[in-house]
Amino acid sequence: RTLEHFKNHISDQGTERLSQVDTIEFNHVYFAYPGTSTPVLTDINLFLKKERVALVGLNGSGKSTFIKLLLRMYDPDEGTILINGRDIREYSLVELRSNFSVYFQSMKNYCFTLKENFTIADDDQAEENVDKRILTALDLAQCEDILQKTRLRGRGLNTSITRLFDHEGIELSGGQYQKLSIARTFFRRHTALILDEPSSNLDPIAEDQIFQSLRCITKGKLTIFTTHRFSNVSLADRIIVFEKGKIVEDGSQRQLLAKKNRYYEMFNIQKEKYNSDEKS
Ligand code: ADP
């Protein structure tokens, strides 16, 4: 189900309304996962406004954990997280989470129809232009190939995904599943977007096109995304570099490259790797 149903051991006492996300602030945030003593985030301080922010860093450096704390899947051990200047614990979980449309790598699609994959978690099903909104989201997420398959079946958005329960259904590839999940993220009503590795299974062309779509969709919205591919980082107005649970650099791509520090090193290692891959 949707994020709103993920309660964990978080107390949901807040009563404040949240109609949109304008700013996010982390103040001296420390965190270790329950039952462990290894700090995963250490003294995180950050102020984000309506901008596109890329979180970069090696695997295990704390990027996903940062996102989990922001969505209150866990609470920090120390420090505070504020949205629009208010501690996020003052908002109800539903208010907080309903502002974000989130793409996680582990997101599942359902063995229902294409349309139900969009409407199942939302209360918008009865809305009259819902088909149009779904088609727009599919278009932005470069799902033309999926639509093509459904047209061959003659059932359009009512085509089942997987043939598990419907022999007229269609099977999708890993990359197509990922694009469908991204389309669902675009479809969901939101005031801020979070995307955790949105292009890991995509071919370079689809990846490039999705990042073009993201450029439009994220205009004027607070957007946080993680990516391993430095070519995608150019979407970001601002880059935050995580290392072992700490923020070690923060700035625009141009600023960080000029600094010739951690970001610059990672950027060059990747560039060399791609060059040698191309040659081999
Ligand atoms: P990144 O997103 O940068 O790859 P993560 O935030 O996923 O990093 O992970 C940071 C650290 O937290 C890693 O050492 C990881 O093993 C650990 N970790 C992640 N999830 C859990 C969990 N549910 N329980 C315990 N440790 C976790």
Give 47 or 174, the one with higher predicted confidence. Answer: 47
The pLDDT-based confidence of 277 (bands split at 50, 70, 90) is low
Closest approach atom of ligand 1 to CA 196? 2
Q: Are 214 and 241 in contact (CB under 8 A)?
A: no
Q: Whose CA is nearest to atom 14 of ligand 1?
A: 60
Ligand 1 mutation pick, 8, 30, 33, 74, max ligand atoms within 8 A of CB: 33
CA 60 to centroid of ligand 1, rounded, Å: 5
Chain centroid to Cα 93, Å, comes to: 18
Q: What's the confidence (pLDDT) of residue 274? A: 66
- The number of the ligand 1 atom at minimal distance from the alpha carbon of 245 is 10
Say if ligand 1 is within 6 A of residue 65 CB: yes
Cβ neighbors of 130 (< 8 A, separation 6 or more) are: 115, 118, 119, 124
Please check whether residue 82 is in contact with residue 46, taking contact to mean a CB–CB distance below 8 angstroms: no
Mutate to test the pocket of ligand 1, among 37, 40, 44, 70 (most ligand atoms within 8 A of CB): 40
- In this prediction, residues 4-29 reach a mean pLDDT of 86
Q: Indicate whether residue 60 lines ligand 1 (CB < 6 A).
A: yes
The pLDDT of residue 8 is above 80: no
Confidence of residue 85 (pLDDT cuts 50, 70, 90): very high
CA of 169 to the centre of ligand 1 (A): 37
- Higher pLDDT pick, 204 / 25: 25
Residue nearest to atom 24 of ligand 1 (CA): 33
Long-range contacts at 199-206 (CB < 8 A, ≥ 24 apart): 199/227, 199/229, 199/232, 200/105, 200/228, 201/174, 201/175, 201/177, 202/175, 202/178, 203/175, 206/142, 206/175, 206/179
Whole-number pLDDT of residue 166: 81
- Work out the percent of the chain whose per-residue pLDDT is above 70: 92
What is the pLDDT at residue 23?
98
- The pLDDT tens digits of the residues spanning 58-73 come to 999 999 999 999 999 9
Q: Which ligand 1 atom is at minimum distance from the Cα of 66?
A: 6
pLDDT beyond 60 at 5: no
Q: If you take atom 9 of ligand 1, which residue's CA is the nearest one?
A: 60
Which of the listed residues 64, 68, 241 should we mutate to test ligand 1's pocket, taking the one with most ligand atoms within 8 A of CB?
A: 64
pLDDT tens for 139-184 read 999 999 999 999 888 889 999 998 777 888 898 888 898 999 999 9
Q: For the segment 161-173, what is each residue's pLDDT rounded down to a tens digit? A: 987 778 888 988 8
Taking the C-alpha atoms of residue 265 and residue 277, their distance in angstroms, rounded to an integer, is 18
What's the sign of the alpha-carbon dihedral 84, 89, 90, 92? Answer: positive
Q: Chain centroid to CA 105: how far?
A: 8
d(C-alpha 275, C-alpha 229), whole Å? 14
pLDDT of residue 182: 93
- What distances in angstroms separate CA 261 from CA 42, 55, 67, 248, 253, one per listed residue? 20, 16, 25, 10, 12
C-beta of 52 in contact with ligand 1 (< 6 A): no
How many A from CA of 9 to the centre of ligand 1?
18
Residue owning the nearest CA to atom 12 of ligand 1: 40
